[in-house]
Amino acid sequence: MILELEGLTKLYKNGRGAEGITFSLAPGEVLGLLGPNGSGKTTTMKAIAGLVRPSAGYIRICGIDALEQREQAMGHVGCLIEAPALYEYMTALDNMKLAARHHKPAGRDSIDEILHLVKLDKYAGAKVASFSLGMRQRLGLAIALLSAPDLLILDEPANGLDIEGMIYVREIVRAAADRGAGVLVSSHLAHELELCATKVAVIDEGRLLAEAGMDAVIRAHSSLEGFFLAQVAEARRFGSGAGISKITRQV
């Protein structure tokens, strides 16, 4: 498995966060985390990426204990979580060169290829200060791809993107999966995940409510939106603390 989570828990003082999250991701799979804003998607991703330390559970990345061997595990990860950290006074190319120092060796040819992939090659020499929100998002995605990661983590990657930008993101996600990477992508937009994910995990109020293959979801509910609404309604019928123990993992 590229990624294994078991009982991942990280709660903040306000009670928000993620609790008891368990799922796995195999090579070539695209797992969509679907849930409303504040449901625990970003907290889960931050814990996987080593940006916050969970209070319980374990994380394995390519068979490596990510809590005990963080540096080794993170060598397999590329991520874009929340707003990309960019130097506005530098050009897109210089931001890429700087980021490349912290990844597996990435030469100029690789950088140029990735900038072309995210449709920023024409703006390589432009300063980030002049970029739109969507262009910044695409540059953050380019940095996440620098090391050809085994695990690609994308938190709401369509934020700020126009229709063409969303299509680019889907193509990049599919290309990463086709080369054998595992992709974890979150969204509160069901339709976007329906177009790129091979399976989905529904998260609400910090708990994993259901996990299923996308084909099975569409057969049973016609749309991912219908599946999501059914799982949330079921959870609320059982009570907010029901969690996945009372709600099926399979459609």
Tell me: do 116 and 131 sit in the same domain: yes
Tell me: do 220 and 165 sit in the same domain: yes
Using CA atoms, how far residue 41 sits from 34, 38, 45, 107, in Å, is 8, 7, 6, 33
Give residue-wise pLDDT tens across range 193-240.
999 999 999 999 999 999 999 999 999 999 999 999 999 988 888 765
Give residue-wise pLDDT tens across range 143-187.
999 888 999 999 988 877 888 888 888 888 999 999 999 999 998
Tell me: do 131 and 176 sit in the same domain: no
Task: Give pLDDT, residue 247.
Answer: 39
Tell me: do 100 and 223 sit in the same domain: no
Determine the Cα–Cα distance for residues 18 and 203; give it in Å rounded to an integer: 9
The residue written with tokens 């963080």 in the block is 70
Which CATH number does the domain housing residue 187 bear? 3.40.50.300
Using DSSP, state whether 133 is helix, strand or coil. helix
Task: Give pLDDT, residue 163.
Answer: 85
By the 10 Å C-beta count (0-12 exposed, 13-18 middle, 19+ buried), 188 is classed as: middle
Tell me: do 71 and 97 sit in the same domain: no
Q: How many domains does the chain have?
A: 2
Which segments within the chain are labelled E, that is strand? Answer: 3-11, 17-25, 30-34, 56-61, 64-65, 77-80, 151-155, 182-187, 199-204, 207-213
Averaged pLDDT, 114-139: 92
In this structure, what are the phi and psi dihedrals at residue 22, rounded to the nearest 5 degrees? -135, 120
Q: In the predicted model, what is the mean pLDDT of the chain?
A: 88
pLDDT of 246 strictly over 60: no
Tell me: do 63 and 105 sit in the same domain: no
- The pTM for the full model equals 0.89
Give residue-wise pLDDT tens across range 54-72.
999 999 999 999 999 999 9
Instruction: Count CB atoms within 10 A of the CB of residue 128.
Output: 19
Give residue-wise pLDDT tens across range 18-64.
999 999 999 999 999 999 888 999 999 999 999 999 999 999 999 99
Task: Give pLDDT, residue 151.
Answer: 96
Q: Among residues 127, 146, 165, which one ends one of the domains?
A: 146
Host domain of residue 242: 1-76+149-251
Task: Give pLDDT, residue 104.
Answer: 59
Tell me: do 108 and 126 sit in the same domain: yes
Tell me: do 63 and 18 sit in the same domain: yes
Per-residue DSSP letter, 17:
E
Q: Among residues 120, 146, 172, which one ends one of the domains?
A: 146
Q: Among residues 146, 169, 187, which one ends one of the domains?
A: 146
